[in-house]
Structure 1
Amino acid sequence: MASIKEIRTHIKSVEQTLKITNAMYLISSSSLRKARKQLNDVEPYFNKIGTTLSDILHHSPEIDHPFFDKRPEVPAEERKVGYIVVTGDKGLAGAYNHNVLKLAEERIAQTPCHSLFVVGQMGRTYFQERGIPIDVEFLYTAQAPTVPRARDIGELMTDLFLERQLDEVYVIFTRMVTSFQMEPTIHKLLPLDPDTFPKYEKDRDAYDRSVVYIPSVKAVMDRLVPGYVRGDLYGALVESYCSEQNARMTAMKASSDNARQMLQELDLSYNRARQAAITQEITEVVGGAQAAL
């Protein structure tokens, strides 16, 4: 049995760990609510861009635009594919980083001509340790997703796509399905697929008359599509951040529960050790008194 001093030291250590894990749980909970609010605040704007694109596509089915160019003339083995991998900046979030990085590594291994774009310190460290070349590192933190950062990434991706340096662009991130379920996801960013834009049911804003776009359909699409891509990326960044915070909350709650259970066991061990020490002292006093008689 451990000594009373050792048990007391162990108890203090576990108590300090419990304070840290509980504080991290509260911080992650606050960050999750804040990120969700940010996404909800801008979501109507990006949804409107999506509905407008859908409206244009269904009123102008003959449209031919570079952002929708699937480049069928390029063979599969020669297609240049860009992967934007979104991870966290730190661990202590369960399997959050591991799962998305594993999925990214599998897809990269299946793509002969690929380019890697990384958001998050954990992703940078992971690929560097394994000798996987990173084409672009977005050095700002993944802890504070913002629309301007999504715009910067989106502009780079659209430029590379239009310059034919990339034939396809995917973003690999973690989607929070529910509070208890998170899954790594691969979302195709470019080229856009007209079939993914649903035809919305008629409502008070719908119309059947012919539509004229000024100065042209292409000019309107040139302006709208980058905004749509920016919204897609911002949604992925926020979704990843929310998933990370939720995973950290779950991990810290489990750690806190384990620490509390360990404290109960240590308290029991401490009481037993103290009782054994008292019994030993009484035995020694009684033994000494009997010897004196």
Structure 2
Amino acid sequence: MASTKEIRTRMKSVEQTLKITNAMYLIASSNLRKAKARLEQAAPYFTKMHTTIADILHRSPELSHHFLDRRPEIPAEERKVGYVVLSGDKGLAGAYNHNVLKLAERRLRETARPKLFVVGLVGRAYFQERNIPFEEDFSYVVQNPTMSRARDISDELVQQFLDRELDEVRILYTEMVSALRLEVREQTLLPLVRENFPWEPPKGGPLLPPVTYLPSPEAVLDAIVPSGYVRGMVFGALVEAFSSEQSARMTAMESASDNARDMLKKLSLTYNRARQAAITQEITEIAGGAQNARR
């Protein structure tokens, strides 16, 4: 059995670890609340962008636009597909990073001509270790999702799509379905797919109210798709990924704290047994010494 000093040293080490895991849990909880509030504040704007695009597409069923061009003339083996992968900047978040990175690696193997855009330090290190090249990485973005940072990412993607350097743009991220359920999502940013913009008739009847888009529906799409829809989708994915990371870290730190408390209970029991054994041994030695002295 270890000495009481060794057990006490180990108990102090576990207590320090418990303080750290508790602090990380509280920080993750605070970050999660802020991120969800930020997404809720921006949600009405993104919803309006989505409904506006749906209205334009419904009113103009024959509309031809470069953001709607799926480029069917390009065969699958020649299509350049861009994957934006959102990972974290830190670990200690359970399987959060592992799940999205594994999906990204599978998609890269399945695509003939992929282009990888990495968001997050964990993702960059992961692909560097495996010698998987990436087009660009956006570091220190996921810890504080903002519209300006989403703009930097979306502008690059839109420009490459317009320059035909990319034929498709997809984003991979983790969505927090509930506090205990995180799911990896894959969404297509470009080109726009009509089926993803269902139109709902206005309340009171199926008739369309008169609306005129000036100078033209094409010009309106040119304006709102890059700055409204794509940027909003990227920002929403950044916030969802950040929220998922904080939720996963809260769960991991709560589990680590529970394990630390259980370990402290076991160490405390072991410490008391060792101390009792040491006291018993000391009493036995004293009694034996007294008996020898009487002789």
TM-score under structure 1 normalisation? 0.98
Match of 1:189? Answer: 189
Q: Residue 269 of structure 2: SS of its match in structure 1?
A: helix
User: Whole-Å Cα distance in 2 between the matches of residues 206 and 35 of structure 1?
Assistant: 38
SS of the residue corresponding to residue 63 of structure 1 reads: coil
CA deviations on 1:183-213 (whole Å, 9 max, x unpaired) are 1111111111011111124227986244321
Residue of structure 2 equivalent to 1:77 = 77
The alpha carbon displacement at 1:230 in A equals 0.6
Structure 1 residues 223 and 205: alpha-carbon distance in aligned structure 2, compared to 1, 3 A threshold: farther
Find the counterpart in structure 1 of residue 269 from structure 2.
268
Question: Match for 1:120: what amino acid?
Answer: G
Task: Kindly indicate whether residue 240 of structure 2 is the aligned counterpart of residue 239 of structure 1.
Answer: yes
Q: Which stretch shifts more, 168-177 or 14-23?
A: 168-177
Change (3 A) 1:237 1:205: farther
- Separation in 1, partners of 2:73, 2:81: 15
One-letter amino acid of the counterpart of residue 249, structure 2: R
For the 8 Å contact 2:201–2:208, the answer to whether it is kept is no
Partner of 1:4: 4
Q: Could you tell me which residue of structure 2 aligns to residue 156 of structure 1?
A: 156
SS at match of 2:92: coil
Residue in structure 1 matched with residue 287 of structure 2 by the alignment: 286
* CA distance in structure 1 between the partners assigned to 2:43 and 2:205 by the alignment: 19
Is the Cα–Cα contact under 8 Å of residues 18 and 256 in structure 1 kept in the other structure? Answer: yes
Q: State the Cα distance separating 1:56 from its structure 2 match.
A: 1.0
What is the CA-CA distance between 1:99 and the residue it aligns to? 0.8
- Ranges in structure 1 where 5+ consecutive residues have no aligned partner: none
What's the CA shift string for 1:147-177, capped at 9, x where partnerless? Answer: 1111111111111111111000000111111
Give the Cα–Cα distance (whole angstroms) in 2 for the partners of residues 265 and 283 of structure 1.
27
Query: Which digits, 9 at most, give the CA deviation of each residue in 1:73-96, with x for residues without a partner?
Result: 000010000000000001000011
Change (3 A) 1:93 1:151: same
Identity %: 61
Query: Number of residue pairs matched?
Result: 293
Distance (whole Å) between structure 2 residues aligned to residue 99 and residue 113 of structure 1: 23
> What is aligned with 1:16?
16
| Matching residue of 1:105 | 105
Q: Contact between 2:85 and 2:104, CA under 8 Å: does it hold in 1? A: yes
Structure 1 counterpart of 2:134, which letter?
I
TM-score (norm 2): 0.97
CA RMSD across the alignment: 1.3
Q: Aligned partners of 1:232, 1:13: CA distance in 2, in Å?
A: 45
Residue in structure 2 matched with residue 251 of structure 1 by the alignment: 252
- Match of 1:212? 212
Listed as ranges, the matches of 1:104-183 within 5 Å are 104-183=104-183
**Paired residues of 1:49 and 1:228 also in contact (CA < 8 A):** yes
> What is the DSSP-based 3-state SS (H/G/I as helix, E as strand, rest coil) of the residue aligned with 1:177?
strand
Counterpart of 1:256, as a letter, is: S
Alignment check: 8 A CA contact 2:93 2:245 kept = yes
* In 2: Cα distance, 1:142 partner to 1:129 partner: 21
- Map 1:34-49; keep pairs closer than 5 Å: 34-49=34-49
> What is the identity, as a one-letter code, of the residue corresponding to 2:16?
Q
Q: Is the 8 A contact 2:141 2:149 kept in 1?
A: no
Unaligned runs of 5+ in 2: none
- Post-superposition offset of 1:65: 0.7
Greater CA drift, 274-283 or 134-143: 134-143
CA distance in 1, matches of 2:67, 2:144: 29
- Moved >6 Å (runs of 4+): none
Q: Matched residue of 1:143: which SS? A: coil
